[in-house]
Amino acid sequence: MEVIKVKCIKHRYEDQTEVKVCGLTFRVEKGEKVAIIGPNGSGKTTLLHHIIGLLKPIRGEIKVFGLSPYKNFKKLIPKIGVVFQDVDYQLFGPTVFDDIAFVPRNLGWSEDRIRKEVNKILKDFGIQRLKNKVPSYLSGGEKKKVAIAGAIVSKPELLILDEALAEVDPESKEVIIKKLNKMNKELQTTILLVTNEIEVIKKFADVVYLMEKGRIILKAGPKELFKRRTKIEFCKHF
């Protein structure tokens, strides 16, 4: 089943600046773990914002679960978990517990179920001590862990992570990657991760897309990508 399809999209901002994401067609099948890599300004975040439905393309094709994400935002968003590059935009609960519980509460879960699932993920991530803390006072790495916990606690069908593992300490990074791989294996969760960390790609990705200057220039498995890196010179971006 094709979860995402993006084909040569163009977006025009209010100041008339135009941004394109063209090149190879971007396809993601159900249950795939996909890494998107490339230098700053290559269009990675623009691509993700179109997939989520935050931006409306003026040209091109984009489908998520067979629907236009911008036109069907309210219908699709319960299926999607998101961690933005700047997590301060999404951490607004009075406590860490409330922040992680935000989506389950909006989905109508019972408080007993919410308490059970939130406490479980706090334990899984080793952040029980943060439970009653105010999110805005946490360190950068702690904020990322809370944001990831909040994105996956409701077990979304599609998980989108924009540089979500940046600033996370190596030990916690291992825990989170294992959790993501477990979700993928047990629930067939489709996961999109923007990262330029080679070790993360090796431990996580089934498929890697390389972007440069608004173009998707390569699709490959991690092993193939690293074998070809001297030819495509992608390593200069990291």
**Burial tier of 77 (Cβ tally within 10 Å: 0-12, 13-18, 19+):** middle
Strands 215-220 and 207-212 come out as: antiparallel
Q: What is d(CA 37, CA 229) in angstroms, rounded to the nearest whole number?
A: 13
Q: Are 53 and 72 in contact (CB under 8 A)?
A: yes
Q: Please, which residues have CB within 8 angstroms of residue 195's CB and are 6 or more apart in sequence?
A: 35, 36, 37, 161, 163, 165, 166, 201
The number of distinct structural domains making up the chain is 1
Show the CA angle centred on residue 170, arms to residues 168 and 171, nearest 5°.
Answer: 105
Q: What's the CATH number where 84 sits?
A: 3.40.50.300
Q: What is the pTM of this model?
A: 0.92
- Ranges of the chain with pLDDT below 50: 230-232, 235, 237-238
DSSP 67: B
Q: What is d(CA 134, CA 95) in angstroms, rounded to the nearest whole number?
A: 5
Q: Which domain covers residue 73, as residue numbers? A: 2-237
Q: What is d(CA 195, CA 201) in angstroms, rounded to the nearest whole number?
A: 8
Which region holds residue 216: left if phi is over 0, alpha if psi is between -120 and 50, else beta?
A: beta
Residue 96's beta-bridge partner residues? none
**Among 204, 134, 135, 136, CA closest to 165:** 204
Which region holds residue 167: left if phi is over 0, alpha if psi is between -120 and 50, else beta?
A: left
Q: Are 194 and 200 in contact (CB under 8 A)?
A: no
pLDDT, position 167: 87
pLDDT, position 231: 46
pLDDT digits (tens, 9 = 90+) for 27-85: 999 999 999 999 988 999 999 999 999 999 999 999 999 999 999 999 999 999 999 99
pLDDT, position 17: 86
